[in-house]
Amino acid sequence: MSETRLERFRAEREALNETVMTYAGQGIKRFYHLDWQAYQPGALPVKTKELLGLVASLVLRCDDCVTYHLDRCLAEGVSDAELEEALNIGLVVGGSITIPHLRRALQTWDEARRTDE
């Protein structure tokens, strides 16, 4: 079976992060930690935080970020219905310019869901 879009993304992200950390000074390391800390359990459940990250990423039209948050949403047990509602909010806020990113997001989600079965 060929490698999925999500598997390729995970491998590339890990390799690129290793390269970043080779050069990372205190500022970059602090930013990475700040990002990590924002998604830890708190007043909002992690699942909700990942959906928020997904919506923000869709509105900002960052495919890498969308893919990362889709991966995290899968890990947090987000349902198809929850995903669709979140992406709908992103579409309403971001407008039609987000549609290509929405298409890729749902293609990635669909592929990952079929692989999990």
Q: Specify the higher pLDDT residue, 86 or 1.
A: 86
Tens of pLDDT, residues 52-68: 999 999 999 999 999 99
Contact 34, 73 (CB under 8 A): no
Say whether pLDDT at 117 is over 90: no
Neighbours of 57 (CB within 10 A): 21
CATH code for the domain of 77? 1.20.1290.10
pLDDT of residue 48: 98
Average pLDDT over residues 99-107: 98
Contact 40, 87 (CB under 8 A): no
pLDDT of residue 1: 56
pLDDT of residue 115: 84
Separation CA 34–CA 73 (nearest Å): 19
Domain count, the chain: 1
pLDDT band for position 2 (cuts 50, 70, 90): confident
What is the span of the domain harbouring residue 53?
Answer: 5-116
Average pLDDT over residues 4-29: 97
